[in-house]
Amino acid sequence: MSAQYAPWFIALPVRLIARWLYRVRALHADRLPDGGALLLANHLSYVDVLVLQLACPRPIRFVGHENLLTEHWFFRLVFRLTGTIPVSRTNALSATRRVVECLGRGEYVLLFPEGAISRTGQVMKLERGFELMARRAGVPVVPVYHDGLWGSVFSFSGHAYIFKSPRLTPTPVTVAWGEPIPAARADAATVRTALLDLGAEAFAAHPRLGRHLGREAVRALAKRPGKIELIDRTGTRLEVSASRLLGAAAALSRHLRRTVDGGRVGIVLPPGAGATIANLAVLCAGKTPVNLNFTAGRAALEASLRIAGIRTVLSADAMRAKLPDFPWPEDTRDFASTLAAAGGKRAVIPWVVAAWLLPNQLLPVLLGLPRVGGDAEAGLLFTSGSAGEPKGVVLTHRNLLGNCWQISSLAILPDTAVMLGCLPIFHSFGFTVTIWYPLLRGCRVVTVPSPLETRRITDAIRDEACTVWVAAPTFARPVLRKAERRDLRSLEVLVTGAEKLPDDLAELAREKFHLEIMQGYGLTETSPVACVNQPDPPVVTGTGEVQRGQCAGSVGRMLPGMAARLLDPATLEPLPPAATGVVALRGPNIFAGYLGDGARTAAAFHDGWFVTGDLGRFDDDGFLWIEGRLSRFSKLGGEMVPHGTIEQKLLELFGAADAEGRDAYPVFVTGVPDAQKGEALVLLTTWPELTAEAVREKLAGAGVPNLWIPRVVKRVDAIPVLGTGKLDLKAARALALGS
C-alpha cells in the first residue's frame, strides 16, 4: 500500500503485515521507467496489490473494479484511503480521464487487464481499454507478472475465496517486471505474450523446483499416513494407504541401493500399486526409473535397453509370461519376490510406524535423500516412435516437479479428486499424472492394468466413485459407447490427450453423459502437459462474471509457467499469435535433452525454445488450436496440404457418426515420393466404401481443392496404432509406400 496515497499510520502496519505474510522477490525492477507508466499485471487474488507494491520501488496508484464498492464496506474504505480509481463499463470514460491525468503527472498506475480475478489460475482474456489509456497519456506500458498467490486464501483455488485452510508459513511470491512497451505497440496480443514470458520466468524462479522429487514425494506421503492413496484393481481389490506405500518403497529402495549396479533400472509393470512403489523405490535408491514400452517391437526395446544402459529390470512373472518376445536382460527381477528379498513385512513395518510417528522432514533424511534434485535426471522415457526410432527423453527433477506444480495451479485435479489411472506408465501422461502427481498432491488413484479393458474401467469408475479420468480418445471411445449413464454418474472431468479429440466423441460424451471432455496438449518432452482445457469456474459472488476455462476444439490455455511462440515453418522467425505456425515452448517442464543424442537435441531447440513440430495458433482468449503435425503436411504445387484436414473431411462425408464398432483410425492420409510431382497423396482406409472414385466424387462435391484429393486409395485390415493410443505414423507410412 503506497505511503503517497494512504495515511502513514495505515500504510506502515499494512506493509509490515504483508511482509510477514509474504516473502516477495522482485525480478528486473531496474526495468521500471523514471516517468509515468501504465503497469499491467495478471490477477490471481484480492491481495495482488499488496505484493506488487512491495515489489515496486515507487508508489503505485491502483485501478479497481467499481463493483467492489458495493460488495463490502471494507473495499469502500480501502478505495477512499488509497486513492484507487474505480472503473466499470458505465464510467469507463471518466475513469480513463482520471488514469490519463495521473499518468501525465508521472505516476505509476496499475491496471488488471483481465478485468477480474482469474478463477482458473491462468491468464484470461485481456480487455483492450488499457491501449487507449496509454496512447492518450503517451506513456509506456510495463507488463508485470506475479507467481505464488494462487492457492492462498485470497485466491479462488478450491472454488472459494477466503473459506479454506490458510497457509501456516510465509508465502514466497515472485514478481517479474517486463521491459517497457511503447504505447503505439502495446496491444492485447503483445502484452499477453509478454505476461506469459514473465510468468515462465517467475515460475521457474520458485525454489521448490530445485528440490528432489523423491524427497518431496516421501514428505507428502508422511503428512497423510492414514489416507488411502491407491486402490489397485488388477486382481483382488487392494487398498494401499500412504504409510504402506511409503513403507514398501522405502524397504525396496534400500535393497535396490545395495544390489543394483548402474544408474538406471528398467520397469515393466502395468499401472497399479507395484508400478507406483517400484518407481518411488528406484528414485529413492538414487537411481533413475525407466518405464519401458512393452508394446513396442523387439528391435525398439533392444535399442532402448542399449541406449539407457539398463542391466536390471523390475517386472512380474505374469508379465514375463505374457511378453515372450521381450528382450529380458539376465538380471530381470520379479517385483513381489524382490520386495520379499528386501525383508518383506519385517522391513516394511518400521517405515510404516515411522511415517505415523516421526516428523515428515525426518523420513527423507533416514532414506539418505538429498535436498536438491534440480537438473539431475529423475526419469527416462522413450518416445513412442510414431514418426521414427524411439528417442530417450531425459526428464529432470525440475521438469517433473514443475509440471506437477503447474497442474496443481489449476482447478482440474484437486487433492479431493478420485482419479482413474489406466494409462500405461511408459506413456508420459501415465508417468507424471497418475504416479507422481497423486504422490505429491494427495488425490486418490484407482488403477486398472490396461486402458483397453473397457468393462474393468467402467466397473472401476462406478464402484469407486471416480471423479476424474485421464485417457486418450482411442481408449475412451469404447467405454463411452458401452457404459450406461449410471456407470459414469460420479465422473466430473474426463481429460484426453496424446491425439486430437474427435468431434463425434465429444458429442457422444456431451449427449449421453452430460460430460464435457477436457482436451489437453503435450509431449513426452514437456513432461508432458503444456496446456489443457478445464471446466468453467463457478460464479460465487453477486458481482462475479462468467469466465471461460474451456473452448471446444482447442487444447486449452497454456499452463502457468509456460511461454509460447509461433514460428514460421520455413524460417523459424516469430509469427503473430493469431497466425498459424510451428508451436515453440519454454518452461520448467521442458526436457533436458535426448539421451546420448546431441544432434537431435540441438535440432529440437531454436534460440532456447523447444520446437514441437506441431502447427497451431492462438485465439484472442489465449486458447491454443492445434492445426496438425508439420510432418503430416505435403507440399504440392507450392501449397502446404494438411493430411489431418483431409482425414477429418472424409470422416464427415462418409458418416463417422455411424461408425459404431469400427476402428479408432479408419482413414490415414500421407505423402509418398512421386517422380512427376515430387510427392503424391495416398489414402489408407479400413472402410470398403472408400474407393478411389467415391473419395474423388465426395471430396470434389464438398469443394475440396483438386490438389488435396488422394490419387491412390489402399484398403487395409487395420491402420497401425501404438500402445499409447497414437497412430503409428512410421508403420502406417510404410504401408502406404508399399502401395
pLDDT digits (tens, 9 = 90+) for 466-498: 999 999 888 899 999 999 999 999 999 999 987
* pLDDT for the residue 3: 43
pLDDT of residue 335 exceeding 60, the answer is yes
Instruction: Work out the pLDDT band at 660, boundaries 50, 70, 90.
Output: very low
* 58-94: pLDDT as tens digits: 888 888 776 655 565 666 666 666 667 777 777 778 8
Cis peptide before 528 (omega within 30 of 0): yes
DSSP code string of 308-370: HT--EEEE-HHHHHH-TTS---SEEEEHHHHHHHTTHHHHHHHHHHHHHHS-TTHHHHHTT--
pLDDT digits (tens, 9 = 90+) for 110-166: 899 988 888 888 888 998 888 988 999 999 999 999 998 887 766 777 666 655 566
- pLDDT for the residue 661: 44
Residue 225 in this model has a pLDDT that exceeds 50: yes
| Mean pLDDT (the chain, rounded) | 86
pLDDT at 356: 96
Average pLDDT rounded to a whole number, residues 25-45? 92
Mean pLDDT for 278-306 is 92
Q: 213-618 maps to which CATH number?
A: 3.40.50.12780
369's CB contacts (< 8 A; 6+ apart) are 212, 214, 215, 218, 284
8-205 against 632-737: fold identical: no
Between 189 and 704, the more confident residue is 189
User: What fold characterizes domain 632-737?
Assistant: GMP Synthetase; Chain A, domain 3 (3.30.300)
Residue 641 and residue 707 in contact, taking contact as beta carbons nearer than 8 Å: yes
Q: What percent of the chain has pLDDT over 90?
A: 52
Q: What is the distance in angstroms between the CA of the first residue and the CA of the last residue of the chain?
A: 72
Of 216-220, 357-361, 568-572, the poorest mean pLDDT is in 568-572
Would strands 141-147 and 171-177 be described as parallel, antiparallel, or unpaired?
Answer: antiparallel
Pick 397 or 655 by higher pLDDT. 397
Which helix (H) or strand (E) segment holds residue 403: the answer is helix 397-408
pLDDT of 614 strictly over 90: no
* DSSP state, residue 478: H
Tell me how far apart the alpha carbons of residues 311 and 263 are, in angstroms, rounded to a whole number.
10
Q: In the predicted model, what is the mean pLDDT of residues 396-412? A: 93
What CATH code is assigned to 8-205? Answer: 3.40.1130.10
CA pair distance 111, 104, nearest whole angstrom: 16
The β-bridge partners of 529 are 522
- Residue 547: the pLDDT is 84
| Mean pLDDT to the nearest integer, 282-308 | 92
Percent with pLDDT over 70 in the chain: 87
SS3 sequence, 237-279?
CEEEEHHHHHHHHHHHHHHHHHHCCCCEEEECCCCCHHHHHHH
pTM, entire model:
0.85
Q: Please tell me the distance from the alpha carbon of residue 242 to that of residue 16, in angstroms, as a whole number.
A: 40
Distance CA 515, CA 533 (A): 13
Beta bridge mates, 214: none
Which is more confidently placed, 658 or 638? 638
- All structural domains of the chain with their residue ranges: 8-205, 213-618, 632-737
pLDDT > 80? residue 45 = yes
Higher pLDDT, 158 or 305: 305
CA distance 168 to 443: 21
The pLDDT of residue 74 is 61
Pairing of strands 108-111, 37-41: parallel
- CA atoms of 487 and 481, how far apart (whole Å): 12
Label residue 379 by pLDDT band (50, 70, 90): very high
Q: CB within 8 A of 93, min separation 6: which ones?
A: none
**Contact assessment for residue 719 and residue 733, using Cβ atoms and an 8 Å cutoff:** no
Whether residue 17 has pLDDT greater than 70: no
**Looking at residue 697, what is its pLDDT?**
86
pLDDT above 50 for 695: yes
Average pLDDT over residues 202-221: 94
The C-alpha cell at 523 is: 509431449
Write the burial class of residue 419 (CB in 10 Å: 0-12 exposed, 13-18 middle, 19+ buried): buried
For 672-691, the pLDDT digits (tens) are 777 656 678 888 888 888 88
